[in-house]
C-alpha cells in the first residue's frame, strides 16, 4: 500500500513539474533563451570581447527567422566576421580582453586595412547589428508590414555601403520577410512577452552599438567605401 502511494505521488509530482516546465517554456522567447546578452556598459565604456562575441553569435539564428534562404548571405557574413574577431582574440586573450584594444592594436600597427583585419570585421559586424537594431525598432512601432520595416532598416543602415549588386541581393531578401503574425510566433508564443523582451534587447544592443560607433569615429576607422 505504501509503495503504491509513493509511486502515485511520484507520478503526480512529475506531472505537476511537467506542467510548470511547459508554462515556463511557453513564456520563453528568442531573446530570453539566449545564454549571452549584451552587457551593461561601464563608465569607461570598455567592452569585454568574449561576452560581446558570444552575444553576437546568439543573434545569428535571428536571420533564419527572417528568411533562412534569402538571408543566408547575411548570416554567413556575420559568422565570418565573428570568426575573424574570435581568431584575433584567441591570439592573446589577456591582451585582447577588451574589444577596443584589438582595434587600437591594429591602429597603432597601421594594419587596419590589411586583409581580414579585425578592424574591418568589427566594422561590418557593427553595420549588421545596426540593421537588426533599426528593424526591431520598427517592429516595436507596431508596423504590420515587416517588409516595410526591413526596407527602412536597410535604407537607414547598410544600403549606403553596398554597390548595385549587393543592393539587389538585399532587395530580394526583404521580399522574403515573413508576415508579422508568423514572425512573432517564431519568436515566442506570447506576443506581449515577446515585445517586452524585444524592447529590452533593443536597449542593450543600442548601448553597445553606440559605444562601438563612437570608438570608430574617434579613431577614424569608419570606412565609407562600398562593397
Contact assessment for residue 190 and residue 196, using Cβ atoms and an 8 Å cutoff: no
Instruction: Please give the Cα distance from 111 to 226 (Å, whole number).
Output: 19
CA dihedral over 222, 132, 140, 157, signed as positive or negative = positive
123-177: per-residue pLDDT in tens? 999 999 999 999 999 999 999 999 999 999 999 999 999 999 999 989 989 989 9
What is the residue whose three cell numbers read 517586452?
196
Task: Determine the pLDDT at residue 6.
Answer: 62
47 in the same domain as 19: no
Indicate which CATH number applies to the domain containing 114. 1.10.3520.10
The pLDDT value given to residue 14: 56
Question: Given this model, what pLDDT does residue 10 score?
Answer: 52
C-alpha separations of 215 from 14, 66, 102, 137 in Å: 53, 30, 12, 23
Structural domains in the chain (count): 2
Query: What's residue 12's pLDDT?
Result: 57
Domain that holds residue 211: 34-219
20 & 120 share domain: no
108 and 12 assigned to the same domain: no
Taking the C-alpha atoms of residue 118 and residue 106, their distance in angstroms, rounded to an integer, is 8
Mean pLDDT by 10 residues, the chain (227 residues): 58 50 64 95 96 97 93 94 98 98 98 96 97 98 96 96 93 92 96 97 98 97 88
Amino acid at each position: 500500500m505504501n509503495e503504491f502511494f509513493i509511486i502515485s505521488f511520484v507520478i503526480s509530482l512529475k506531472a505537476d513539474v511537467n506542467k510548470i516546465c511547459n508554462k515556463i517554456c511557453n513564456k520563453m522567447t528568442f531573446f530570453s533563451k539566449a545564454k549571452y546578452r549584451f552587457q551593461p556598459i561601464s563608465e569607461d565604456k570598455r567592452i569585454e570581447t568574449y561576452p560581446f562575441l558570444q552575444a553576437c553569435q546568439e543573434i545569428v539564428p535571428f536571420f533564419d527567422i527572417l528568411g533562412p534562404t534569402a538571408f543566408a548571405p547575411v548570416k554567413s557574413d556575420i559568422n565570418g566576421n565573428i570568426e575573424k574577431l574570435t581568431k584575433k582574440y584567441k591570439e592573446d586573450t589577456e591582451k585582447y580582453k577588451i574589444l577596443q584594444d584589438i582595434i587600437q592594436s591594429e591602429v597603432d600597427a597601421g594594419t587596419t586595412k590589411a586583409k581580414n583585419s579585425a578592424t574591418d570585421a568589427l566594422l561590418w559586424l557593427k553595420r549588421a547589428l545596426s540593421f537588426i537594431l533599426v528593424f526591431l525598432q520598427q517592429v516595436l512601432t507596431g508596423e504590420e508590414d515587416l517588409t516595410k520595416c526591413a526596407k527602412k532598416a536597410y535604407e537607414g543602415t547598410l544600403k549606403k555601403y553596398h554597390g548595385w549588386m549587393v543592393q539587389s541581393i538585399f532587395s530580394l531578401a526583404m521580399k522574403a520577410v515573413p508576415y508579422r503574425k508568423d514572425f512573432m510566433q517564431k519568436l515566442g508564443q506570447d506576443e506581449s512577452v515577446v515585445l517586452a523582451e524585444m524592447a529590452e534587447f533593443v536597449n542593450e544592443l543600442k548601448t553597445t552599438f553606440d559605444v562601438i560607433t563612437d570608438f570608430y569615429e574617434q579613431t577614424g576607422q569608419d570606412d565609407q567605401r562600398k562593397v
